[in-house]
Amino acid sequence: MANKNLFQTLRGALIPQATTRNDAGAVAYELSPRAALARMAVTGCFGRTYYASPELQLERVLEAARQVDADFLARTALYARRRGYMKDMPALLCAVLATRDLDRLTEIFPQVIDNGKMLRNFVQILRSGVTGRKSLGSAPKRLVRQWLERATERQLLDASVGNNPSLADVVRMVHPRPADATREAFYACLLGKPYQTESLPQALQRFENWKATREGDVPDVPYQMLTALELGRREWTAIAVTASWQTTRMNLNTFLRHKVLEDSHVTRFLAARLADPEKIRRSRVFPYQLMIAYLNTGKDMPKILREALQDAMEVALDNVPAVEGRVVVCPDVSGSMSSPATGYRKGASSAVRCIDVAALVAAAFLRKNRSAEVLPFECDVVDLRLNPRDSVMTNATKLARIGGGGTNCSAPLAKLNAAKSAPDLVIYVSDNESWADPNRGRGTGMMHEWEKLKTRNPKARLVCIDLVPNTTTQAPDRKDILNVAGFSDTVFDLIAAFAAGEDGSDHWVREINSQPLTERMNIA
C-alpha cells in the first residue's frame, strides 16, 4: 500500500512551487517584471524599509523598468502619479523614459510632471546619472523649458520654494525665453540679477512691499515664503484663511499655537474647508494622513475641527467596498510593520508606520462590512475584539497599538481552517515578509492553508495588499488571488472589482495598461 503520509491528498501537488526567497530569507513567489514595477511604483519612496535599503530599491526599480516595454513604463508612471499619488517614483520613471523613448516621454511629461516639485524631482533624478545620463539632453531640456514657459505666475511662485535643485538652478540649466517683461523680471529676481520692481508679478510685488512695511493685507504667496518671517496672530490668521486644504490639515496645531483658533468664525471656516468633499478629493490625500492629523490633535483643539477630520476620513474612505458574503481582514501587526510607511529617511521619516496603514484599512472594511471578522497577526493571531459601531479612527488606533513579533502570514488562514470557517473574501494588509510560517515543502505556508480553505469554499477569494516596495509575494496571482499595493484609496477600487468577480490574474497590470495616455489631471 502507498505511503499514506506521502500521498495523503492531491492538494499538496496543486500548490505552486515557491520560486524565490523574500527579503526576510523565507520562501516566496517572484512577481513578474510588470507586477514588480507596478508594486514599487506605488509604494517606493526611496527610504530604507525594515529589510531593504534605498539603493536596493533603486536597483530593483531600474531592473524591472529594463524588462518592460516603454508603453507600460509610461502608463505605470501615469498610474503612480494619477492614482497612486506618488512623487519620486513617477519622476524616476520619466527619467528612465528619457533614455528609452523620447516620444513617449513627450506624451506623458505634462501629465506626470504637473507641478514645480515634480519638475525639480525630474531634473534632480536625471542629472544624478542613475538612469544612464547626467545631462538633461536636448529633448528633456525642451520639455522642462516648455513647462516653465507655460506655467502660471502662481505655479512659478510655488515652484520657487525648495532646493536641490532650486527653481533658479533649473532656469540656469534650460534658459527659458521670457514671454514678457513680467516673466523676465521674475527670472532676474530668481537668479539674483538686476530687475525692475514694478515689472515683477503682482503677488511678488505685494510680498516685497509687505515684507518691508508689514502694512495692509498679508499677500497671497506660498505658505513657506511667509512662515520664514516673524509673524503675529493677524498674519497667521490670514495664512489660515487663504491656505490650501493640505496646508490646513498639516498646520492645525500651528494655528492653535498662534491663537488663530480663538476666533470662532475662523475655526468654523477651517472646519468647513476640511470637511468639503470636493476639496478632499482634489487634495489626493492618503487616508492614513487624516488619521495621523486626527491623532496629533490634543485636548485643546476645538471639537469642531476634530470632527471635521473624522468627516474628511469618511469621504476619503467612501470607496471602501461593501462586499456580499463573509469578509475576513488580516492586518499584519508584526515587528517589521513598525517601519515608516514611506521608509526611513534621515530627518524626514514619516511618523506613519506600516502598522498604522494596515490598521486603518482593517478598520475601514469593518466600518463598511459590519459582520466582518478582523484577525490581526504576527507569529500567531492576536486576540482583539473590535466594535464595528466604533469610528474608523477608534478601531484603527486599537489595532495600531499592538505591534511586535515575527511574521506568519499563514496564521490567520490556519485559524480559519481549524475552526472549519469558510469566508468568501480574505484581505491581507502586510509588508509580505513572512518568515515564521511552518515549513510546508513545495509552496509557502500561506498557500497550503489557502488551498485547505478552498476545499470548503471553492468560490473564496484572497486579496494581498502590500505596503512596501518588494518584488515577492506569499500567494501568486491567479483567478482567485489578487496582489495589489499602495497607500491610496485606489486600492479599494481594485478590491471592489475583484470581489465582484473580476479575474485576479494580472488584474493590476491590466488596470495600469488601461490608463489613457492623454488624460488631464485636476490638480488642487
Contacts of 67 (CB under 8 A, 6+ apart): 33
Instruction: Supply φ then ψ for residue 69, to 5 degrees.
Output: -75, 165
Amino acid found at 322:
A
Residue of 468, 386, 446 whose CA lies nearest to 16 = 446
- pLDDT at residue 349 is higher than 80: no
Cis geometry, peptide bond prior to residue 178 (ω within 30 degrees of 0)? no
For 101-138, the pLDDT digits (tens) are 999 999 999 999 999 999 999 999 999 999 988 888 89
Kindly report the average pLDDT of the chain as a whole number.
90
Question: Which three-class secondary structure state does DSSP give residue 429?
Answer: strand
The model's confidence at residue 519, banded by pLDDT at 50, 70 and 90, is low
Average pLDDT of span 441-470:
94
Q: What is the mean pLDDT of residues 368-374?
A: 93
Distance in angstroms (rounded) separating the CA atoms of residues 329 and 210: 55
Q: Quick: pLDDT tens for 6-50.
A: 444 445 557 999 999 999 999 999 999 999 999 999 998 877 788
- DSSP-derived letter for residue 199 is G
Tens digit of pLDDT for each residue in 277-300?
Answer: 999 988 888 888 888 888 888 889
* DSSP-derived pairing of the beta strands 20-21 and 472-473: unpaired
d(CA 350, CA 68) in angstroms, rounded, equals 31
Q: What integer pLDDT is reported at residue 517 of this predicted model?
A: 83
Q: CA-CA distances (angstroms) from residue 344 to 36, 60, 376?
A: 21, 18, 24
The per-residue pLDDT for range 327-340, each reduced to its tens digit, is: 999 999 999 999 88
Predicted pLDDT at 10: 47
- Residue 150 reports pLDDT greater than 70: yes
Which residue carries 488624460 as its cell? 519
CA distance 199 to 181: 6
CB-neighbour burial class of residue 400 (10 A; exposed 0-12, middle 13-18, buried 19+): buried
**What is the rounded distance in angstroms from the CA atom of residue 282 to the CA atom of residue 359?**
25
Question: What pLDDT, on the 0 to 100 scale, is given for residue 38?
Answer: 94
At which residue does the C-alpha cell 492538494 appear?
A: 11
Whether residue 98 is predicted with pLDDT greater than 90 in this model: the reply is yes
List Cβ neighbours of 418 (8 Å cut-off, separation of 6 or more).
Answer: none
Whether residue 524 is predicted with pLDDT greater than 70 in this model: the reply is: no
Q: Report the distance separating Cα 442 and Cα 458, nearest Å.
A: 22
